[in-house]
Amino acid sequence: MSRPTLLVTRRLPPAVEARAAAEFDARLTASDLPMPDVIANSAGADAILTCPGDNFDAELIAALPASVKVIATFSVGFDHIDIPAATARSIAVCNTPDVLSVTTAETALLLILSAARRAGEGERLIRAGRWEGWAPTQLLGVGVVGRRLGIFGMGRIGRVLARLARGIGMTIHYRDMARLPPSLEGDAIFHDNDVSFLGACDVLSLNAPALPETYHWLNADRIALLPRGAVVVNAARGSLVDDAALIAALTSGRVGFAGLDVFEGEPKMSPGYLPLENVVLLPHLGSATVETRDTMGFLALDGIAAVLSGRKPGNLVE
């Protein structure tokens, strides 16, 4: 029996590629970069497995061959895929929710601690050969234990971050479209407005998806509502932040420290971040562990297999 054809647009972890090759007539690639010729390569393909940064806009989706029935993304975020355009072509879209929540929340916590305790600056000092030894006034940061963490976007990742942060003695405040049920909220404090929420953020973590409503959510007006010297971290999507406003606030000290794993238009980023010592910059490694990336790949393949066999996958984007 012939196997369905799967186009994979990026190099994937070896275990995921092995399973793709075992279950599909898989067209793999050795490249870590977005595939320039998706349309030509998807001729006759039943499914496409793609990644954040591969722009599946309406134009590309409209030009896909009629054979394509499902696009799965190797990510929980699907802002790079035009869902209405896929729906219009009756192409199902799957993503990888849940399996990366812990790993991404770990990255948010890493950013919080690294930014607040100036780990990036310390690293640069040592690597530049400029460290002259311990000194009482050197690289003084702020502690986070006992401080208030405000989470913007209390979804799966935000809730895991809340659990981890409670474990190090932070108190949790959150802002979302609706209040969580008590079983999920625990002792976290819900805010139904930006003024009270941002005023309670000694540390602000952005954990909301990229949506028109969250575009540049952290702008100059909202930054002005934060306590002076607050720590800001973003392990969600770069488009949530107005970079010019955050750079100005980091420069003036209005925001004390920031930790960023994601950037609008990445891998490009606002050059204004680069000379700032008080920002930690990571290359979008939120979900980057071997186990998590394998599990993400397997979940994406599960979704593709389900769609192609006429079943509704649990990871269908609706």
Which residues are catalytically annotated?
A: 237, 266, 284
For 116, half-sphere exposure in the C-beta direction (CA atoms, 13 angstrom radius) is 20
Given CA atoms 148, 154, 158, 162 in this order, what sign does their dihedral have? positive
Q: Residue for token digits 């003695």?
A: 169
Residue 237 beta carbon to ligand DGY: minimum distance, rounded to whole angstroms: 7
Evaluate whether 23 touches 305 at the Cβ level (below 8 Å).
Answer: yes
Residue 239 beta carbon to ligand DGY: minimum distance, rounded to whole angstroms: 12
Residue 158 beta carbon to ligand DGY: minimum distance, rounded to whole angstroms: 14
Residue 285 beta carbon to ligand DGY: minimum distance, rounded to whole angstroms: 8
Between CA 215 and CA 241 the distance in angstroms is: 7
Tell me the angle at which helices 101-116 and 156-167 cross, rounded to the nearest 10 degrees: 50
Residue numbers of the site for ligand DGY (CB under 6 A)? 52, 75-77, 100, 286-287
77 or 303, CB closer to ligand DGY? Answer: 77
100 or 109, CB closer to ligand DGY? Answer: 100
69 or 80, CB closer to ligand DGY? Answer: 80
41 or 289, CB closer to ligand DGY? Answer: 289
Angle at 236 between CA 165 and CA 31, to 5 degrees: 125
Residue 46 beta carbon to ligand DGY: minimum distance, rounded to whole angstroms: 23
What does the chain come to in residues? 318
Contacts of 67 (CB under 8 A, 6+ apart): 5, 42, 43, 44, 45, 46
Contacts of 83 (CB under 8 A, 6+ apart): 93, 317
Q: Three-state DSSP class for 267?
A: coil
256 or 286, CB closer to ligand DGY? Answer: 286
